[in-house]
Amino acid sequence: MLENNVQVAPSILSADLGHLADELATIEGAGYVHFDAMDGHFVPNLTFGPGVLSAVKAATQTPVDAHLMISNPDQMVPEYLSAGADIVTFHYEATAHANRLANLIRERGAKAGIAINPGTPVSALDAIIEDVDLVLVMTVNPGFGGQKFIPGSLRKICQVKAMCAERHVNPIIEVDGGISPANAAEPLARACSLLAAPSLARKTAPRPSARLPRPARPVSRGEREKRDRPHNRIP
């Protein structure tokens, strides 16, 4: 069971986009909607952009945390702000101007988040921890859903919490990747305040879908002659 002060942010990565409004209705009351934006460059997968985020905002009252796994956050952050993101989280590894970008997000009235990959040490946050409202610790290498939680991530999450206490700041500490009921319980929950977890989201029942029959593969002349050739069998 999760600690009372820990919120869950269901990700739309596993949502049925053909019934987006219905899917979002099932998670009303969640802390946030986790919006995974991937560009196919910073990470190998390609997902959603500002247009889909606008559709999400139109369909739910739940705040949206836009997690930008993209190579050019300095250029694209204004687009996600205009689309209505309540939190814009960009990767430390993707920009040389993290403080400037965080200040821009805050000036536009949203909360600023900074994400770090599994291979990035917590010390990288030293110069920006006081300028952000959220720290996202990736507990898998970003790019695909369904990966396993990386062992040792709990220690890293605790290091972030210790840095925040030392600097007298209180950002949301979010974890993303490999979260399941088995590892989202007491130890993990005590170290963070927000879980991005598709597997913890309540899902709608499967919907029937009408599918056209797959067209038959064209048969070559050689295959046709072989098929029609009489077979002599020895009794």
Positions annotated as catalytic residues are 36, 176
Evaluate the CA torsion angle 199, 202, 205, 206 in order and state its sign: negative
**What Cα–Cα distance (Å) separates residue 9 from each residue in 68, 122, 171, 185, 235?**
15, 23, 16, 15, 69
Evaluate the CA torsion angle 109, 52, 64, 73 in order and state its sign: negative
Our measurement of the distance from residue 145's CA atom to the centroid of its chain's CA atoms, rounded to an integer in Å, reads 8
Strand, helix or coil for residue 209: coil
For residue 200, the tally of other CB atoms under 10 A from its CB is 18
Evaluate the CA torsion angle 12, 132, 103, 42 in order and state its sign: negative
d(CA 74, CA 189): 32
* Strand partners of residue 194: 7, 174
